[in-house]
Amino acid sequence: MSEPRWLSAEEQRIWRDFSAAVNMLKAHLEAQLQQDAGIPLTYYEVLVVLSEAPGQVLRMSDLALATRSSRSRLSHAVARMEAAGWVRREACPTDKRGAFAHLTKAGLAALQAAAPGHVDAVRYSLFDPLTPEQLGRLGEISGAILERLTPRCTEAAAAELEAMDADIARG
């Protein structure tokens, strides 16, 4: 086993600043959505993804991938959004364990009502403090991180699905 590649003092500072910034940004957006629209950030993200999907419908497994949620967390969120009338679930006719999530008119209305405040919060907290050059670098950096992590996250989601299949097969 090789020695860990410990972070330098500068890398530790950058990591901690980056982690704090991401956490503060998410907390700010969560608070804004809760206060102004009564919607958790997770639900907002689900509504956005469904609103952009063809026919405003996605298979639950695809919705989990698109929102970077575990299937169990997504299922819980969709159940609560179903109770609110924002989403409707429908069983997949060709796959017993599959289901589709449909955005309802009420869900689209909730999204449209929440979007202006959310966009203002994103602009205030992320875009307004940065120069155009910094925004360009942020885009490049974000792209590089996504490129590195997407394969691993996709593999993890596939492993979760395989585990669910194995559980179903065992009965």
CATH of the domain at 64: 1.10.10.10
pTM for this predicted structure:
0.84
- Gap between the Cα atoms of 45 and 52, Å rounded: 11
2 assigned to some structural domain = no
Q: How does pLDDT run across 25-80, given as a tens digit for each residue?
A: 999 999 999 999 999 999 999 999 999 999 999 999 899 989 988 888 999 999 99
Q: How confident is the model at residue 170 (pLDDT cuts 50, 70, 90)?
A: low
Question: What range defines the domain where residue 107 resides?
Answer: 9-122
pLDDT at position 104 is 98
Note whether 81 and 149 are same-domain residues. no
Which of 160 and 84 is assigned the larger pLDDT? 84
3 assigned to some structural domain = no
